Amino acid sequence: MADQDPLPIDASKFQRAADSPSPDDVPTPGLCGNQPNGGPYVPSKPETAATSTRAVIDMDRRWKNGTRLQVVFLTGDDAWGQAIRQAVRRIAVQWSDYANITFDFDQPAAHITVNLVPGSIPQLGWSVNWGSYNCFMGTDCLNMRKQFPSLPSMNLVFPPNLQNDPNLMDAEFSRVILHEFGHALGLIHEHQRPDRPIDWTPDVFSYYGAPPNNWSQQMVQEQIINAVQGGTLMGGAFDINSIMMYQYPQGLAAYKDGTPFVSPNNVILTPLDKVVVAMAYPVEGAPASNEQTLVPGEAARPGKIDVAGRVGRYKFQPQTEGVYTIATTGMPALVALLGKRDDPAGRMLAAEGANAKLTFRPKNVGQDYFVQVRHARPTKGTGDFQIAVTQVS
């Protein structure tokens, strides 16, 4: 594995541009401007323009499991910058409830450097404006800085006029910070995963070509249409609520059967977002539970997560076609259903809660399905639960 030690930073070398644009007419909310390869396009590095990547989570760009990721703010000493810093410290760490990764802020060296202000970054060919959000993917945050040590690996250039609408500000902080730190962990855009079950319409070009985005056709191709390719991908079923999915109004894409594709403004993590990073960054040293067999219709079976990070493992076999539920009671739980043992295979489903209930219609009766039960905060929680599988129709 490549060296993943944090690099020293010299924030004085990255300065706000003197001719920063006015924030008065900033289009908000803005979209994350990541490239399909997970990081922003670097003109001097042609490979960053190629769709050479992967998604959901790119297992090849993961940090070493258990890393304490050091995050340093390069800019934003004013009051608004301090407000953003506070939001980042509060929100980014949500990922640590699920991934075995810790974030340490304001260290003398950094894995991830964060810019909060507009400016130009000529080394990368960027113009960063109010509303510009992006991040290199996973370990590329550090790899880029081996070439350009004082440059940001993440841009969180929230426009100050968000303060005029505190509710919008809170939603935007949550949406953008969780999304960009998702990239920092190695997650790609949900809408660019190669197995997405949708087709785009030509209207996608005119929609994003118009204000407030004003994207070129190439930008639409790179941000939306091009699927991530190659690499080692790991993820669950297509999740329109994923924090890594853009918001799409009706008319831009359709499912294969013609159903219009729509996705909402996602500002929180979904059960699948949580399970995927829990699988990519598991707690080390939590002994695996033996797999138990559940029988549909039988009484609920007791289970226990006695060590943080332990996973309860089950399998069952539907014998007749119909609709089944997997339900837990007791501790707040994250429940995942898999068609292959320990392999999400792009089809995993998940549910969460103190009464987590997952409803599904098995395609393959007479074959094994697999269930994983985690505490709802897998890296921290323990507790007792009961689990049952029931055929409901």
For Zn ion, give the closer residue by CB, 186 or 318.
Answer: 186
Token pair of 340 as six digits: 């292959």
Q: Is 176 in the site for Zn ion (CB under 5 A)?
A: no
Q: How far is the CB of 189 from Zn ion (least distance, A)?
A: 5
Residue of 6, 30, 34, 87 that binds Zn ion (CB under 5 A): 34
Q: How far is the CB of 178 from Zn ion (least distance, A)?
A: 11
Q: Is 35 in the site for Zn ion (CB under 5 A)?
A: no
Token pair of 306 as six digits: 């006695």
Region from 26-34, 196-204, 228-236, 313-321 binding Zn ion, contact rule CB under 5 A: 26-34
Q: Is 32 in the site for Zn ion (CB under 5 A)?
A: yes
Q: How far is the CB of 32 from Zn ion (least distance, A)?
A: 3
Q: How far is the CB of 7 from Zn ion (least distance, A)?
A: 23
Residue with tokens 């006015």: 22
Token pair of 93 as six digits: 């760490």
DSSP string for residues in 205-251? HHHHHSTTT---HHHHIIIIISPP-SS-EE--S--TT-TTSPPB-TT
What mask, x for binding Zn ion by CB under 5 A, covers residues 294 to 313? --------------------
For Zn ion, give the closer residue by CB, 32 or 376.
Answer: 32
Q: Is 94 in the site for Zn ion (CB under 5 A)?
A: no
Rounded to 5 degrees, what are φ and ψ at 279?
Answer: -75, -35
Q: Is 243 in the site for Zn ion (CB under 5 A)?
A: no
For Zn ion, give the closer residue by CB, 39 or 362.
Answer: 39
Q: Which amino acid is at 13?
A: K
Cα–Cα dist 23/26, whole Å: 5
Residue nearest to Zn ion (CB): 32
Cα–Cα dist 162/217, whole Å: 29
For 176, counting Cβ atoms within 10 Å of its Cβ (0-12 exposed, 13-18 middle, 19+ buried), the class is buried
Q: Is 270 in the site for Zn ion (CB under 5 A)?
A: no
Find the DSSP H helices in the chain: 79-91, 140-147, 166-185, 203-209, 217-220, 271-280
Q: How far is the CB of 156 from Zn ion (least distance, A)?
A: 12
Token pair of 96 as six digits: 């640590």
Q: How far is the CB of 303 from Zn ion (least distance, A)?
A: 36
Residues making contact with Zn ion (CB under 5 A): 32, 34
